[in-house]
Chains A and B, each alone.
Chain A
Amino acid sequence: MLTLIGRRLALGILTLLVVSVIIFAGTEILPGDVATAILGQSATPENTAAIREQLGLNRPPYERYFEWLVGFVQGDLGTSLGNRRPIAPQVGFRFENTMLLAAMAACIAVPLSIGLGLISAIKQGTIFDRAISVTSLMAISVPEFFIGYLLIMFISVKLGWLPSLSNVNDRMDFGERITVMALPAITLTLVTLAHMMRMTRAAVISVMNSPYIEMAELKGVRYWRIVIQHALPNVLSPIITVVVLNLAYLVVGVVVVEVVFTYPGMGQFMVDSVSKRDVPVVQATGLIFAMTYVLLNMMADISSILANPRLRHPK
């Protein structure tokens, strides 16, 4: 089992390396020139050349790639071209904000979706099951920015329950933060709910036809207990996979939602930097997103391995 986990770790690191190459290459071939973008109106050929020299853009790409990668591994994310300050501290608090928002959304979405999935599996075919199914499908079919604007319109503007802007800052206490973050968190919940819920429902229903479920019924065990104690542990692996995939989506897919609610997180930072052609920031944030994604997926795979008793307790 350790070899399996080790292999998975190695694969994760390899994936990250490949991703870093792609991100670097991708930003290299972006149209437009950083030097021109920085100088704006005052871009004369001489000035441009000077800036290029200063930024080291004339050196071969592979040299710059390795320098960047080595720096990144050591925690040096480089210097922003926009404001000439180190990127790390600027990313730091934004990353925290993003993770906080994702965590809040996850705290609502994961228990809710698994709970609803289990209930609809138990009440399979009833009105309740169908109602949940239809509602969640509707939520998943609508793009997240649209859900965001709908929520703003009804909950903030018409009802005035929650603020529409989520510009958190350090002076807010916990309660205020939660209130401000509620709408983006709900938006993210609605977007991810359906996928997890349907997967839970389908996975549970598929094992409900197993002979060991029939055996439990013939032992006179209550139906809901069979679902929770016999069926659920057997479908942990697919559920964990879909949950973690959605967590990864929460972190990475937060970009649009952050922009809609002007939430000061990584996503907004990245979008701003792209428009400013601030290549080092785009590279750094891109790689951080990729790391989160790969890390979460790796955790999904490892927990699936751990959830399998055949691997935990070999013969």
Chain B
Amino acid sequence: MSESLLLDMQALRIEARGPDGEPFRIVDDVDLQLKRGEVLGLIGESGAGKSTIGLASMNYARTGCAITGGKIIFDGTDLRTLSEDDVRAMRGVKAAYIAQSAAASFNPVKRLNDQVTEAAVRHNVMGRGDAVKRAQELYGKLDLPDPDNIGRRYPHQVSGGQLQRVMSAMAMTCGPDLLVLDEPTTALDVTTQIEVLATVRDLIRTNNTAALYITHDLAVVAQIADRIMVLQYGKLVEVGETNQILHDPQDPYTKELISARTEEINTKVFTGMPENPVLSIKNVTASYDGKVDVLKSIDVDIGRGETVAIVGESGSGKSTLARVVTGLLPPREGHVDFDGETYSPALKQRTKEQLRKAQMIYQMPDVAMNPRQRVSEIIGRPLTFYFGLTGRERDDAMMKLLEEIDMAPEFADRYPGQLSGGQKQRVCIARALAADPELIICDEVTSALDQVVAAGILKLLDRLQKEKDLAYMFITHDLGIVRNIADRTVVMYQGNVVEQGTTEQIFTPPQKEAYTQKLIASTPEMRTDWLDEVLRERGDLFEIDAEKHVD
């Protein structure tokens, strides 16, 4: 039995230095066994230690972290007892890493082939000529266009989905025994995700490579993993066969993780098209450079207290639409009305009262807040700006807002760096609420968060909507969320509104538009046979796509 074990981590402990200089454990006595050819899914929230464990399988710790205890037995040898040179010799050859963001993981100034063949050439596994041939072979297997020449390009010359596949080729050049896949599809659109997921799975199966598949998306891992390991706060929560974890989770945390995905939040009944919409986008055409229109004749209304989801892949114009509404990008044609009043196209010409009505919450709460301001200042500023509140009055209003977002008063004195991802997003919500708006534009507000935390944010948004009759323009690529919270859904593709209607209409088959159908079919579902089923059915549906959305 032990012969077939490829990786055996025993009581692994990894420590990082906290802001106070005190070391704390980010991975705490975790045991992990992986057989040859087996795929183990590592799942948990960010900060659960998934990536850290993945990297530790190559005896690598990121800056500021150190592996301080346990054994990492790879193919019979404890990596921790090896010299630095011996560990280096194994990296890229016996074990390879596939990162989340291919765009960031390729050196922008070096040609793809140089990077793909680097490990093979540097470790003298093969000469450069052979390595390039091997790479071309892999490009072909991974369905990359023009496999003989694509390697001569620079990273910015191929699309994100293609780059992700080139990275897979890079990991496979030396034929490793172990692949560490760190959220390899998270940064991709759902339609691209399917292709990458399918190729990665084929690669692992045909080469009988063992893999650690790190993700926070249970539906994705269900398609690929033999077993799943659930982690929380650096500790092992539960490990078991994929189907057992999905259908019969034992630990309460695993149960919560699975139910967060399937839970219904919104129980509102759709009451028809809004008669006096809060926001009315009329015939808007917009362009960044004056030549290419990124939005083409868009008409969208959002009623009071209504949630309208804007869905589509990246590049479809979702976020541009938000920029037009807020006045950051004046449209080339058309106009934006609030409460029947036509707003000036440019932000600078809008009155304070006009600005107040539409607030925004962003995808990355980290970068949307000044790290040197305390929470009280972040929430307090709009209170002063819009309502002229100061001193005691402002503090009272600020405390009330904290209460509304379910945060204790002591958070007022904290800096953003001292908050968790979910808490930061709550503060951003409070900041938007401080303006007492009628419309909040939510731009991918949950996509940087874990499912359990995201579910909490969505519940909060829903409660606030009921209390304050808020309208939400909810921009997202996650159709699972849309189904749960949106009254109406607008599907966008390449700057056009492909289809809009009630969420029920959009999601109930048969879909009117082929694109909508494709988008919905691409959303992973929480069963192990989903990917096979989609691949079987793909036929014409996916062929329209193959290279089209590649920019």
- Name A's B-contacting residues (CB within 8 A): 209-212, 214-222, 225, 229-230, 233-234, 236, 307, 309-310, 313, 315
Contacts and interface: CB of A to CB of B under 8 A. Distances in A.
B123 A220 contact: yes
Contacts of B96: 218-219
A313 B153 contact: yes
B328 interface: no
A210 B155 CA distance: 15
A309 B108 contact: yes
A234 B92 contact: no
A310 B156 CA distance: 7
A225 to B, nearest CB: 8
A212 B105 contact: yes
A307 B109 CA distance: 8
Interface stretch (B56-64, B67-75, B447-455): B56-64
Nearest to B84: A223
Interface residues of B, number: 31
B88 A220 contact: yes
B292 interface: no
Given A211-B101, A216-B118, A218-B92, A315 B157 contact: yes
B99 interface: yes
A138 B512 CA distance: 74
A interface, by DSSP: helix, strand, loop or mixed?
Answer: helix
Contact of B60 (A217, A225, A229): A217
Nearest to A229: B110
Contacts, number: 76
B112 to A, nearest CB: 11
9 contacts: A210-B104, A211-B104, A212-B108, A214-B99, A219-B92, A220-B119, A233-B109, A234-B108, A309-B108
Nearest to B107: A212
A216 B89 CA distance: 13
B213 to A, nearest CB: 16
B170 to A, nearest CB: 8
Contacts of A233: 107, 109-110
A180 B157 CA distance: 53
A103 to B, nearest CB: 29
Interface of B: 55, 58, 60, 62-63, 88-93, 96-97, 99, 101, 104-110, 118-119, 122-123, 153-154, 156-157, 170
Given A220-B88, A220-B92, A313-B154, A234 B107 contact: yes
B185 to A, nearest CB: 16
Contacts of B90: 220
Contact of A218 (B91, B106, B123): B91
A150 B118 CA distance: 50
Nearest to B88: A220
Contact of B99 (A209, A211, A234, A309): A211
Given A233-B109, A234-B109, A209 B88 contact: no
A28 to B, nearest CB: 43
Given A212-B104, A214-B62, A230 B110 contact: yes
A225 B107 CA distance: 14
Nearest to B123: A220
A286 B88 CA distance: 57
A210 B105 CA distance: 8
A209 B63 contact: yes
Given A218-B97, A229-B110, 10 more contacts: A211-B101, A211-B104, A212-B106, A214-B62, A218-B60, A219-B96, A220-B119, A221-B92, A225-B122, A234-B108
B532 to A, nearest CB: 31
Q: Which 5 A-B pairs have the closest CB atoms?
A: A220-B91, A219-B92, A219-B119, A211-B104, A220-B92
